Structure 1
Amino acid sequence: MIVQKLSGITVTLLLLLCQHACANYKAKHLLVCEGTSVYLNCDLGFIHVLDANYGRTDPNKCSEGKTSNELSNVHCFQETSLRTMTVRCNGRKSCTLSAVNSVFSDPCSWTYKYLNLSYECRPLKQIIICEDSRSVITCDNSDVISIHHANYGRRDFVTCPYRRAMSECYFTQTTSMRSRCNEKKSCDLDASNWVFSDPCYRVHKYLEVTYSCV
């Protein structure tokens, strides 16, 4: 009886823990019409964009007040939508982005578009290093580093504040950081133009890295 009771308690606790973890991994779906903004947010973990398209694949979505000519093209895809979203939003706690041609470019002229995307919140570690500074990331026990996302530039105006910070600068370094750090126990990080080159002259930058120990 005692064993059965303890087993029941264990199962209940495991179910509760699973529900909490699954909630963090559950994909969130968003759809915003052209000319408006989308807001991604993770109370726990960091943003990982799964899919995105800026265009039109349905004649009924975002259709109010629009003419038939603006809605008739349902084969409108912007192939770079996912990359745009990942570069700007992956590895952040929150991210606001406008669904406009100036951000995604126009995949189909005269068509009224919308941004359709999905993302999840992943439990990762993060380190931010201001320009001309150094740090190191390490993993304990037998775990090794796995880089999720890296950017050397500026994705907001509050991190590493400086008088030359009033400009955004997206310069993804995910592939570079993976080659430097993946499968290592520790990895030295140097946030400098000498390492990454200067993606935005006269902007005070920072190296932003999200990673896990696996």
Structure 2
Amino acid sequence: MSDRIMLFLLGFFTLTLTILSISASEDAVKPNSNDPVSFLCHEGEFFIKTRRNHSEANRGRPGEWKTACENEVLELDCGEDKTVRIIDVEYGRSDGTTCHRYPHFFMSCSSSEAYHKVHQRCDNKERCTIVANTDEFGDPCPGIIKYLKVKHRCEPVEPDTLKQVVICENDSKTLKCPKGTYLMIAEAFYGRADKSTCPHPKIKDTNCSAKNVMDIVGAKCDQKEQCELTASNSWFRNPCKGTHKYLMVDYQCIVDDLGYAAACENGNMEIVCKNSSVINVVRAEYGRGHPFVCNNSPTPIKPKGCSSPNEIAIVYGRCQGKSRCVIPATNEVFGDPCKGTAKYLELDYFCGEIWDPEDSPGAPIIKDVTKSTVTFTSEKLNKTTSSEYKTQMKGADEKDWSDVLDGKAFDLGKELSIGGLDPNDQLDIRVVKKKEDLSSCIPFARFRTKS
């Protein structure tokens, strides 16, 4: 009886979600972020010529798929002398059978940040672990059982590219890469596996190792030009009391166009692009998604992760398309997603040349948003030129645009309004030429109506 009730409730819930999804499609609505923000490209396109979508480019390449159901741990292990190469990543749900008690009821959804998260955590490492949960990847479909699928392959490491450093207990050393490259930790060990490494009179155990060493060292060093490491029980805890231990780290110096930056709470993050290139933001996160990033704060770290709902919009507004930006990692800027927990700001970005469509009027400038209305202007269109353009709108995760103000006359600084919107919904809005090739990358603005 209980199973029948459960099936009925799940079926009703799924039907409700489907109806809501259809309704959202009709109204061009999809919630995502709070503050208005301007983009130049859409649907995986970037407005920088020198960057491509890695996940899309890699699809079809040979590799092995691994799957972890929600809240399980997915482990990739390539053994010695090989490192992980991430090919494709999915977090969410794309079928009704994987990790599901009720295969006939499912909702398709995916996390847009999954590839970049796993790429950052696992690429060029001998092994890595990732928890398949919403703390790591966000929740693309609340109430639906999700899973993490990772396609990867193991690639041999050239002997001269993999370096090793050994640090005896209580000593410190600095890992440093040449300018233009960054560190990537391939393997890390803290404990003791023999008597010959860091010889010492106090050796009682030659088969002990601390947990989470890869995560801790990776959080300190990955994607930085240099970092300082200390072989200390205060960093890794003590896996074998009474035995003198050591830290052994294998690492590479990697060249990649994807940059990474992090700033602990109350610090400042500075991003600089040189040679007339500008910043393009790939991922931004303010909160806590990892226990070992910025873990030296006096503020306690709670086990559950958190993130600010406005982080991507705020970082876009401060950095997108600029050659330099400074962002304070503070609650005043991002709000406080988890009070009483030490937080940090993380950013994936790349530098490149701006590509602007010919005769583009630019993204609409959002002036005001209410529960049901958006007010916007254009800085480039006047009464004469605006007759060639039309305004379009759609839901943030939808593909098809709808004409909403066809033939409406803009004027420089004149405010236009669109009403009839639903509360707490996200929309994209753009201005295009009536006879333009809409397959090209067109500027648009993203906003969410108030609740």
**Helix, strand or coil at the partner of 2:315:** helix
What is the CA distance between 1:180 and its match in structure 2?
1.5
What is the CA distance between 1:189 and its match in structure 2?
1.3
* CA contact 1:56–1:114 (8 Å) conserved in 2: no
In structure 2, C-alpha distance between the alignment counterparts of 1:31 and 1:194, rounded to whole Å: 39
Alignment-derived partner of residue 174 in structure 2? none
Alignment-derived partner of residue 301 in structure 2? 165
**Helix, strand or coil at the partner of 1:203:** coil
**Helix, strand or coil at the partner of 1:93:** helix
In structure 2, C-alpha distance between the alignment counterparts of 1:175 and 1:90, rounded to whole Å: 22
Is 1:186 aligned to residue 328 of structure 2? no
Alignment-derived partner of residue 345 in structure 2? 207
Indicate which of 86, 89, 98 corresponds to 2:117: 89
* CA contact 2:91–2:114 (8 Å) conserved in 1: no
Alignment-derived partner of residue 32 in structure 1? 68
Higher RCO (C-alpha under 8 Å, 6+ residues apart): 1
* CA contact 1:154–1:206 (8 Å) conserved in 2: yes
Instruction: Check 1:44–1:186 CA distance in 2 against 1; reply closer, same or farther (3 A cut).
Output: farther
RMSD over aligned CA atoms reads 4.1
In structure 1, C-alpha distance between the alignment counterparts of 2:87 and 2:319, rounded to whole Å: 20
What is the CA distance between 1:159 and its match in structure 2?
1.3
What is the CA distance between 1:175 and its match in structure 2?
2.5
* CA contact 1:55–1:78 (8 Å) conserved in 2: yes
* CA contact 2:279–2:319 (8 Å) conserved in 1: yes
Is 1:139 aligned to residue 273 of structure 2? yes
Gaps of 5+ in 2: 1-53, 78-82, 123-128, 153-255, 353-451
What is the CA distance between 1:135 and its match in structure 2?
3.1
What is the CA distance between 1:78 and its match in structure 2?
4.9
Task: Flag as ranges the 4+ runs of structure 1 deviating above 6 A.
Answer: none
**Helix, strand or coil at the partner of 1:211:** strand
Instruction: Check 1:129–1:72 CA distance in 2 against 1; reply closer, same or farther (3 A cut).
Output: closer
In structure 2, C-alpha distance between the alignment counterparts of 1:180 and 1:50, rounded to whole Å: 29
Instruction: Check 1:90–1:148 CA distance in 2 against 1; reply closer, same or farther (3 A cut).
Output: farther
Alignment of 1:98-113 (within 5 A): 98=132, 105-107=142-144
Give the length in aligned residue pairs.
172
In structure 2, C-alpha distance between the alignment counterparts of 1:128 and 1:48, rounded to whole Å: 25
Amino acid aligned to 2:106: C
Is 1:77 aligned to residue 107 of structure 2? yes
In structure 1, C-alpha distance between the alignment counterparts of 2:286 and 2:293, rounded to whole Å: 12
In structure 2, C-alpha distance between the alignment counterparts of 1:49 and 1:196, rounded to whole Å: 31
In structure 1, C-alpha distance between the alignment counterparts of 2:268 and 2:76, rounded to whole Å: 30
* CA contact 1:165–1:203 (8 Å) conserved in 2: yes
Per-residue CA deviation, residues 119-143 of structure 1 (Å, 9 max, x unaligned), is 79x8411111111111311001011
Per-residue CA deviation, residues 89-113 of structure 1 (Å, 9 max, x unaligned), is 367324622369xx76543xxxxx6
In structure 2, C-alpha distance between the alignment counterparts of 1:89 and 1:181, rounded to whole Å: 20
* CA contact 2:68–2:132 (8 Å) conserved in 1: no
* CA contact 2:58–2:87 (8 Å) conserved in 1: no
Instruction: Check 1:77–1:155 CA distance in 2 against 1; reply closer, same or farther (3 A cut).
Output: same
Identity, % of aligned positions: 22
**Helix, strand or coil at the partner of 1:132:** coil
What is the CA distance between 1:116 and its match in structure 2?
5.3
Instruction: Check 1:154–1:140 CA distance in 2 against 1; reply closer, same or farther (3 A cut).
Output: same
Answer with 156-165 or 27-36: which moved more. 27-36
* CA contact 1:49–1:82 (8 Å) conserved in 2: no
**Helix, strand or coil at the partner of 2:332:** helix
